[in-house]
Chains A and B, each alone.
Chain A
Amino acid sequence: MADVAIRVEGLTKRFATVTALDRIDLDVPSRTVFGLLGPNGAGKTTAIRVLATILKPDAGRAEVLGLDVVHEANEVRQQIGLAGQFATVDPNLTGRENLRLIGRLVHLPRREITRRADALLERFELTAAADRPVRTYSGGMRRRVDLAAALVNRPPVLFLDEPTTGLDPYSRNEVWAMIGELVADGTTVVLTTQYLEEADRLASRVAVVDEGHVIANDTPAQLKARLGSTVIEIGLADASTAKRAHDVLAHAGTSSPELEDSTVRLTTHEGARLLVDALRALDGEGIDPATLTVREPSLDDVFLALTGHHAEEAAA
């Protein structure tokens, strides 16, 4: 592995009765995108807040570019940018004013503030809206100005907390493209997401977080390989029919089927062939499927495979 941009050892954070982070260990290689994948309440945001020096950990340590997030917090703040669901901009200021405010607060020279604000507004296609209050922006524009604000100090390390949650597909693709550009320019990005697709698309390494634990830390390809690239869900009329279908498919031995209520789920790398085999086997036994779904694995499937329980249950 090349250089390590962020090193986390035994990081623990408790809130009253909840342990949000339970002895987390992570290494983030520099100039890559590192994904923290997990459901709401898994501890992803807490991890980002500790790394961004907003929260102090209860135990363990974390270093950003070799700087301790507790003892060298102010030095860390010089090296990072933060954007996402919880770090925002002032809705009453214009886009330009927000960027200038950040520029002043990171102590850039006046001329440099103007230069960078103009450059960022242009890069994020906000020049036309630059002098309108942010409260008049659309969701996508708002997210772009958030991202721009995180980049004013040209941080080598960028933290993005669910950068695309709530965005339409077009804006989401734009944000993805920008993240790609930043990494190409040498930035290390740590992002949290609830979407396997997003982690797969952007991250070169993904840590799956569940109830404050890292339950997997791998490349997206490896994660998916463990899981299978296609999920086939066969819905049946009732639970007893489903049980029969499950037994038929298990007997056929094409893949290990999972039974849940009146649905049988197959996870495979050979979706097309398995689908034909499965339907043929069911038809042979005179079982008619009520519904049929063929899809890419979701976060919930990853969770089910890794933890044996659904992502929603983990969030509760």
Chain B
Amino acid sequence: MSAGELATIAPPGRRHVTPTLVSDTLAIAWRGVVTYRRVPQLLVFSTIQPVVFVLLFTYVFGGAIHVPGVDYVDYLIPGIFVQTVVFGAIATAIGLATDVQSGLLERFRSLPMARSAVLTGRTIADLFRNVFVVILMAGVGFAVGFTVHTNAAKFIFAMLLVLLFGYSMSWVFATVGLAIGNPEAAQAASFPAAAISRYARNSCATPQRSNACSRS
């Protein structure tokens, strides 16, 4: 059929389409941030766990663990930062799997938007959440006696590095969430990966000593 035949139906103009990745990403990220505000449980539960860890290891197990040359709190807190953003990244997997299952992704795919914005927007929303969580954890850390031995600039740089690491983990778990497409299964599938990255490290205790985190 010729385009002329249909000219009467199609509305004039707006045929030119340039998917705008930046504005679409911002729209999807806005949606993610609103979700965290609307369902605060998502934030609360992902922050309670690291807070409990800090308190548990500082006040309960900490007395039994000795790390040569360093105050135990100063040894523990950086590990907790990393652990927090890794576990936070599971939310990326769950969020995307939920969108696949609910059919929201189907709707997005029928819209004249940049398709990659579904991922860039989601990961940026999760980055925002990580900023909040990292600031909170720094507060908790300082409250239990964490001290920075270098200077403020290096500390902030370290925090940015943690956020960058969390952001990259979000992409890893985004792949998991999309591939699985079921929120419960995505959570279950994410856990081993996250657990390995947590327990295979020696942030709770030195390997020579009791492997306290792993047994907890």
Contacts and interface: CB of A to CB of B under 8 A. Distances in A.
Interface string B32-69: 00110011000000000000000000000000000000
A303 to B, nearest CB: 27
B23 interface: yes
Interface string A216-250: 00000000000000000000000000000000000
Contacts of B117: 105
Interface in B71-92: none
A149 B103 CA distance: 13
Interface in B1-48: 1-3, 5-6, 8-11, 14-15, 17, 19-20, 23-24, 27-28, 30-31, 34-35, 38-39
A149 B110 CA distance: 12
A53 B106 CA distance: 10
Contacts, number: 113
Interface extent on B, as a size class?
35 or more
A89 B104 CA distance: 6
Given A78-B17, A78-B112, A107-B20, A65 B6 contact: yes
Contact of A77 (B5, B38, B103, B111): B111
A74 B6 CA distance: 18
A104 B110 CA distance: 14
Contacts of B131: none
B2 A102 contact: no
Residue of A7, A104, A107 contacting most chain B CB atoms (<10 Å) = A107
Given A66-B3, A104-B23, A86 B10 contact: no
A133 B38 contact: yes
Interface stretch (A91-99, A193-201, A270-278, A284-292): A91-99
A101 interface: yes
Contacts of B31: 90, 93, 97, 101
Contact of B9 (A65, A80, A89, A105): A65
Interface of A: 3-5, 7, 30-31, 49, 52-54, 63, 65-66, 74-75, 77-82, 85-93, 97, 101-102, 104-107, 133, 149, 153-154, 156, 188
